[in-house]
Amino acid sequence: GQNIDQPTEMTATEGAIVQINCTYQTSGFNGLFWYQQHAGEAPTFLSYNVLDGLEEKGRFSSFLSRSKGYSYLLLKELQMKDSASYLCAVRDGDYKLSFGAGTTVTVRA
């Protein structure tokens, strides 16, 4: 089975940086995903890491350390529209994708 942990809530100011951590314990590993989900909507794909290191995509970056079972999503230059839930998901050895409970980020003016 999977055990994926991430903080429940985070608050930051517009223009600031926020880092959302995710730790996981899985039976096998075939990649880690980050999704963004606005209230009442379906999740949308943000990033994918399968090798150790940092992947950068505009204002969003995602980091992975497989030996530590750890990832983070970095959101820079926060905008009001970034207020959403951010889901960490891990694909296990059977290629099933399991999700953490999500981190609700609130951006304040």
Partner 1 sequence: SQTIHQWPATLVQPVGSPLSLECTVEGTSNPNLYWYRQAAGRGLQLLFYSVGIGQISSEVPQNLSASRPQDRQFILSSKKLLLSDSGFYLCAWSAGTSHTGELFFGEGSRLTVL
Residue given tokens 């055990």 in the structure block: 3
Tokens linked to 109:
């003016």
Binding-site ranges for partner 1 (CB under 8 A): 4, 30-31, 33, 40-45, 48, 50, 87, 89, 91, 95-102
Q: Which residue type does 68 have? A: K
**Which residue lies nearer to partner 1 by CB, 1 or 109?**
1
Contacts for 81 with CB less than 8 Å, ≥ 6 apart: none
CB of 50 to partner 1, least distance (A): 7
**Which residue lies nearer to partner 1 by CB, 9 or 77?**
9
**Which residue lies nearer to partner 1 by CB, 42 or 109?**
42
Residue given tokens 């039976």 in the structure block: 27
